[in-house]
Chains A and B, each alone.
Chain A
C-alpha cells in the first residue's frame, strides 16, 4: 500500500558490510515507508540474507560504512535485542532448534521482554496463554505446538509458521522475512502468506527476501528490488518479479554490465 507522506520506517544509506574481512554489502541504498511491502530478490550469494542479518545486528557481520536509520535513529550501535525491542523483527531462514525450552515459555519471555521495554506490566502465564491461543489461528497451528520444545523436531513448514506466530505476537513495526517461502509446500506457503497479509497494516512494513516469484503470488509487493554483488541493481513494481520469473536474472545482469560500460 503506497501512500505519499507516510512515515519513513527504514532508510539504509550506502551500507557496506563484511564478514570475516570479506566485503558482502557494497553500498546498499534502501528505503521503506509505513504501509509498504517490499520484496528483495536475487541469486544466491547476492547479499540478500546478509542484508537481513546486518539490519538485525548479527555479531558476525561488521558494518564498515554507511548507516541504518530506523524511525529516524541510527541503530548501528544498538545490540540485536535493543533493535528487536524497537520493533525490528527478522523471520529466520533457518529457525534454530532449542531443546528443553518450551515454545510457550520462549514466546512468553519474548512477549514480556517487549512489554517491559514499553513500560507495560508483564502478562502472567494464564493471560498470556489466552493471548497466544488467539494468535495460533493466524498460522493455523494446534495448541499442542506450544508444549513442545522450541522448533525441536518441527517440520520445515512448522518452523516457518512458528516464526510467523512470533511475529503475530510481537507486532513488529518492520518485519523482515528471510526466505520464509523456502522449503514450504504449497499449503504451508498459503498459510504463511495469509498470515503475513493479515499482519500487514498501514502502520507497519514488510520486507520479503526471496529467491522465487512463488511467494509474491500470495503476498503482493508494492516494490520489487533485485540485488547483485551486494547492491540493489534494479527496483520496480511487482511486474519486475514477473519479468525475472520469465527471463531469469541474466537479462538484468547483462543490462547492468551494459550500463557500466556506457557509464
Chain B
C-alpha cells in the first residue's frame, strides 16, 4: 500500500462525531450535596432515592480513584464536570404524551445515528429506549410490551411508576460503595433504562437502549437495571456514540442484572464512543461497572460486548453465580487503535453448586494502542463441581501496539475445574501478501482476518447486530496496515 492511501484511510472520520444544536437545561459544573439535591429535585424523586444518592456521595468522598488498571490518564477534576444536562422541554407540558411531542431535532439526531424512533420507520422487532445526554428521550413499543406485562422504560420513569421494584433491586447487585466510579454513579446518575420481565414471560422482542452524549462538558452517568423473574427471558442490546470534542468526557455507568430461578438474560453491547483523534486528543473515558446476579437456580446471564470506541475503557461485566446450576458467560471483542487504551475483562464468581462459566475474549490492538484483558475466576468453598473455561486471544496489527493478559484464578473448592487458554497472533505482511497474491486487497483481507478472529463472539450477537458489528470493526481498522 502506498503511504498516501494509508494516511487517507487512517484519517477516516468518525461518522457519529456531529453535534446537535439544541437548547439545554444544564446545571452549573461541580459536585456537592446541593448538586445531588438539585438533580433529585429536577427529577421529582421520592425521598428514598435522595437518601440513596446522598449515602453514595458520602461514601464516594471517602474513596480514592482506582489505579491498578493498565491505563494512564491525567487526573480527573471532578469539580469541573457538569452532572446534569437535558434538552429543554416545553414549559407548558408536564410530560410527553407521545413521540409526536418529542423535539424534532432530537428525532433527527437519532435518525442520523441509524436509530429511527418514529412509528413508521422504527426497527421491526426491536424496542428502543433513546437516551440523549442525561435523559431518556423516547421509548418505543412500550404499549405492546406492556400487553405481556413487560416493563421497559427509563429508570426515571420507573422510579416514579414502580418505586417498589426500584427500591428492591437498585444497588442490590452493585452496592453504592462497590467502587469509586460506582459510588459516583449512584450519587449522580441521571437516567438509563429499566426492564422488568414477569414470571414465565419470554420478552417478545429485542430490547435496546441507545446512548448519545451531546454536551461537551457533561459527564454521562446512566444506570440500567434489568430484572428477570422466574422462567423469564430477555435479550437486551445497548449502543453508544458521542460527538468529537478535543476534551475528554467521563462516562461512568452502572448496569445491574438480576436473574431469578430459570431466568435468562442476554446483554449485548456495541460501544462506539468517540475514541479521540490519532494523537490521543479527546475521547470518552468509559469507566463502567456491569454486573449480573444469577440469584436463582438454573439462571443464566450472558454478556456479549464489542468495544471499539472510547479513549480509555475500564469495564469488567461480571456474573455472580449464586443459584445452583446457574451459568455465566462473557464474550468480548475489544479493539483499540491509535492511542486508545482498554483494560477490560470479566469476573466470574462461583458461589452455588455446579455453576458453570465461559469466557471468550478477543483483543485486537492496532496503532499505538494498549489492550489488556483482566479477568477473575473465583470458585468459592461451597461451589461443588463448578466449572470454568476461559479463552483469551490477542491479535496485534503492526509493530507498535500492545496486548496484555492478566488472568486471576482463585479456587477454594477442590472439586472445581478451571481451564485457561491464551494465544497471541499478529496480522503480518506475509498474511496480507498471501491475500493480495490472490487478488484480495488489503482492506478486504484485514476485514476477513478480523471477522475470522472474532467469529465466536459475533455468533453470540443478535443477528441484525452481528453484521453491524462486523462492519464497524472493518471501518475502525481501515488503513492500519501499510
Residues of A within 8 A of B (CB): 56-60, 79-81, 84-85, 89-90, 92, 95-96, 98-101, 105-106, 109-110, 113-114, 117, 149, 166, 170
List, sorted by A's number, 13 A–B pairs whose CB atoms are closer than 8 Å: A56-B433, A58-B433, A80-B433, A80-B436, A80-B437, A81-B436, A81-B442, A98-B434, A100-B451, A100-B453, A110-B435, A110-B440, A113-B438
B429 touches A59 (CB 8 A): yes
A96 touches B430 (CB 8 A): yes
Q: Complex Cα distance A84/B434, Å? A: 10
Question: Which residues of A are found within 8 Å of B102, using beta-carbon distances?
Answer: none
Question: Which residues of B are found within 8 Å of A170, using beta-carbon distances?
Answer: 438-439
B436 touches A106 (CB 8 A): no
- Shortest CB–CB separation between residue A57 and chain B, in angstroms? 8
B444's contact among A59, A113, A117, by CB below 8 Å, is which?
A113
B431 touches A114 (CB 8 A): no
Majority SS of interface residues in chain B?
A: helix
* B2 closest partner in A (C-beta): A79
Q: Which of B439-464 contact A (CB under 8 A)?
A: 439-442, 444, 448-449, 451-455
- Shortest CB–CB separation between residue B256 and chain A, in angstroms? 34
* With A59-B429, A60-B429, A79-B1: A96-B441 Cβ-Cβ less than 8 Å: no
B448 touches A101 (CB 8 A): yes
- Shortest CB–CB separation between residue B83 and chain A, in angstroms? 44
- Shortest CB–CB separation between residue A113 and chain B, in angstroms? 4
B440 touches A113 (CB 8 A): yes
- Shortest CB–CB separation between residue B394 and chain A, in angstroms? 13
Question: Which residues of A are found within 8 Å of B434, using beta-carbon distances?
Answer: 92, 95-96, 98
Question: Which residues of B are found within 8 Å of A114, using beta-carbon distances?
Answer: 439
A84 touches B451 (CB 8 A): no
B438 touches A98 (CB 8 A): no
Interface string of B1-18 (1 = CB under 8 A from A): 100000000000000000
Q: Which of B408-446 contact A (CB under 8 A)?
A: 425, 429-431, 433-442, 444
Top 10 A-B pairs, shortest CB-CB distance:
A100-B452, A80-B436, A110-B438, A101-B452, A113-B439, A81-B436, A84-B439, A85-B439, A96-B434, A81-B441
* With A99-B453, A100-B455: A109-B448 Cβ-Cβ less than 8 Å: yes
- Shortest CB–CB separation between residue B207 and chain A, in angstroms? 30
B452 touches A98 (CB 8 A): yes
A106 touches B429 (CB 8 A): no
Number of interface residues of B (CB under 8 A): 23
Known: A84-B437, A106-B438. 14 other contacts (CB 8 A): A56-B437, A80-B436, A81-B435, A81-B439, A84-B439, A96-B430, A96-B431, A99-B425, A99-B453, A100-B453, A100-B455, A109-B440, A113-B444, A117-B439
Question: Which residues of B are found within 8 Å of A80, using beta-carbon distances?
Answer: 433, 436-437
A79 touches B437 (CB 8 A): no
* B454 closest partner in A (C-beta): A100
Question: Which residues of B are found within 8 Å of A117, using beta-carbon distances?
Answer: 439
B448 touches A106 (CB 8 A): yes
Question: Which residues of B are found within 8 Å of A166, using beta-carbon distances?
Answer: 438
A84 touches B452 (CB 8 A): no
* A167 closest partner in B (C-beta): B438
* B482 closest partner in A (C-beta): A59
- Chain B CB count within 10 A is highest, among A57, A95, A101, for A101
- Chain A CB count within 10 A is highest, among B429, B431, B436, for B436
- Shortest CB–CB separation between residue B397 and chain A, in angstroms? 15
Question: Which residues of A are found within 8 Å of B1, using beta-carbon distances?
Answer: 79
- Shortest CB–CB separation between residue A79 and chain B, in angstroms? 7
Question: Which residues of B are found within 8 Å of A56, using beta-carbon distances?
Answer: 433, 437
- Shortest CB–CB separation between residue A168 and chain B, in angstroms? 13
* A151 closest partner in B (C-beta): B434
A149 touches B437 (CB 8 A): no
Q: Complex Cα distance A59/B425, Å? A: 21
Q: Complex Cα distance A100/B450, Å? A: 9
B449's contact among A90, A95, A101, A110, by CB below 8 Å, is which?
A101
* A87 closest partner in B (C-beta): B439
Question: Which residues of B are found within 8 Å of A79, using beta-carbon distances?
Answer: 1, 436
* With A100-B451, A101-B449: A110-B436 Cβ-Cβ less than 8 Å: no
Q: Complex Cα distance A56/B433, Å? A: 9
Question: Which residues of A are found within 8 Å of B442, using beta-carbon distances?
Answer: 81
* With A58-B433, A79-B436, A117-B439: A98-B449 Cβ-Cβ less than 8 Å: yes
Q: Complex Cα distance A101/B179, Å? A: 41
* A152 closest partner in B (C-beta): B452
Question: Which residues of B are found within 8 Å of A59, using beta-carbon distances?
Answer: 429, 433
Q: Complex Cα distance A79/B445, Å? A: 14
- Shortest CB–CB separation between residue B3 and chain A, in angstroms? 12
Question: Which residues of A are found within 8 Å of B431, using beta-carbon distances?
Answer: 96, 98
A89 touches B437 (CB 8 A): yes
Question: Which residues of B are found within 8 Å of A100, using beta-carbon distances?
Answer: 449, 451-455
Q: Complex Cα distance A15/B269, Å? A: 54
Question: Which residues of A are found within 8 Å of B439, using beta-carbon distances?
Answer: 81, 84-85, 110, 113-114, 117, 170
Q: Complex Cα distance A59/B438, Å? A: 15
Question: Which residues of A are found within 8 Å of B430, using beta-carbon distances?
Answer: 96
A109 touches B444 (CB 8 A): yes
* A80 closest partner in B (C-beta): B436
B453 touches A84 (CB 8 A): no
- Shortest CB–CB separation between residue B236 and chain A, in angstroms? 27
A81 touches B440 (CB 8 A): yes
A84 touches B438 (CB 8 A): yes
- Shortest CB–CB separation between residue A42 and chain B, in angstroms? 22
Question: Which residues of B are found within 8 Å of A84, using beta-carbon distances?
Answer: 436-439
Q: Complex Cα distance A166/B435, Å? A: 12
- Chain B CB count within 10 A is highest, among A81, A101, A109, for A81
Question: Which residues of A are found within 8 Å of B440, using beta-carbon distances?
Answer: 81, 109-110, 113
- Shortest CB–CB separation between residue A19 and chain B, in angstroms? 13
Q: Complex Cα distance A9/B449, Å? A: 33
Question: Which residues of A are found within 8 Å of B425, using beta-carbon distances?
Answer: 99
